[in-house]
Amino acid sequence: MKNNLISRLNRIEGQIRGVKGMIEKDTYCDDVLNQIAAIQSALNSVGKLLLEGHMKSCVVERIQAGEHEVIDELLITVNKLMK
């Protein structure tokens, strides 16, 4: 899971550098905006994968340990991700 996330983030980092280069070269705005949309989608995918892993491990462990406040923490995090 960790390697998958790092690989995805490395690709996103490359995409961001590409967008910077596009802006420096005065590339047509619509093309830049489409690349930005692709980056946002890729970041959302990373967030979903990380959230899934968090829920299946960290959250479950904390609930089993009696730390039910983790649910409120999780809801706050999900709300931030859904903005």
Single pTM value for the model: 0.86
Distance CA 26, CA 36 (A): 15
Q: For the domain 2-81, what is the CATH code?
A: 1.20.58.1000
Q: Write out the two tokens for 16.
A: 């961001």
Stretch 28-43: mean pLDDT, rounded? 97
Q: Write out the two tokens for 14.
A: 């490359």
DSSP state of 1: -
pLDDT tens string 44-60:
999 999 999 999 999 99
Nearest Cα residue to 82 out of 32, 48, 42, 36: 48
Cα within 13 Å of Cα(14), Cβ side? 6
Stretch 8-23: mean pLDDT, rounded? 98
Q: Write out the two tokens for 12.
A: 């996103």
